[in-house]
Amino acid sequence: MADNNIFLFVPNLIGYARVVLGVASLYFMPTNYVLAAWCYILSGFLDAFDGYAARALNQSTKFGAMLDMLTDRCATMCLLATLGTFYPSYLFVFQIVMVVDISCHWIHLHTSNVLGKTSHKNVGEEENALLRFYYTSRPFLFFMCAGNELFYSMLYLLHFTYGWTLLGMSLIKVLVILLFPVAVLKVVLAIMQGGSAWRDLGYIDIKEREEAEKKQ
């Protein structure tokens, strides 16, 4: 029985640690940017290890997958809300990014469950090639997720400090500039993901109505 106690599976224990680090990051976010950034980035860094642990130890669970996704979405949403207060002239942009991130991931997960997929990361051959590559290439998926989170983290730090400089340039500002395309592409991928999910959900409705008509 102990072996089946999924609440104590290693990847889920890592997930709990990520939640604690995330909450700590939010607590320090308005006042202590060093602690807030370290907690946030460490929580994101552990995201790579819970998936690896789940596969290596054969401890993949629906509970863990949901915990992982909600931790990611909530952390990003709260960071974007903070950035909206730090950069009020870009508040609308941050709001749109939040709406896209939450809504597209939610409808994608919901549609995956309706279709009976074992994972929301399973994509069919009919999907867009870029979206398929995003979910099937772990290095690319990691690069996109890490780059996206690092962009917003550096934007957060830039509100407080320019950090180290090299040749008179702020390394934090350089990272913000370099990672900006990654953040934009992440939004585009989320929109593609959401659009695909809405399409599939619509096809489910059509199929169910056609089957109901045949029974009449």
Given the residues 50, 72, 101, 200, select the one marked as catalytic. Answer: 72
167: left (phi over 0), alpha (psi -120 to 50) or beta: left
Neighbours of 35 (CB within 10 A): 14
Q: Find residue 166's DSSP bridge partners.
A: 169
Q: Which tokens sit at 139?
A: 């290095």
Q: Are 105 and 73 in contact (CB under 8 A)?
A: yes
- Joined together, the tokens standing for residue 162 give 């320019």
Q: Active site includes 72?
A: yes
Please report, in tens digits, the pLDDT of each residue of the chain (216 residues total).
457 889 999 999 999 999 999 999 999 999 899 999 999 989 988 988 888 888 888 898 889 888 998 999 999 999 999 999 999 999 999 999 999 999 999 999 889 888 877 555 656 666 678 888 888 898 999 899 999 999 999 999 999 999 888 888 899 999 999 999 999 999 999 999 999 999 999 999 999 898 888 887
Single pTM value for the model: 0.88
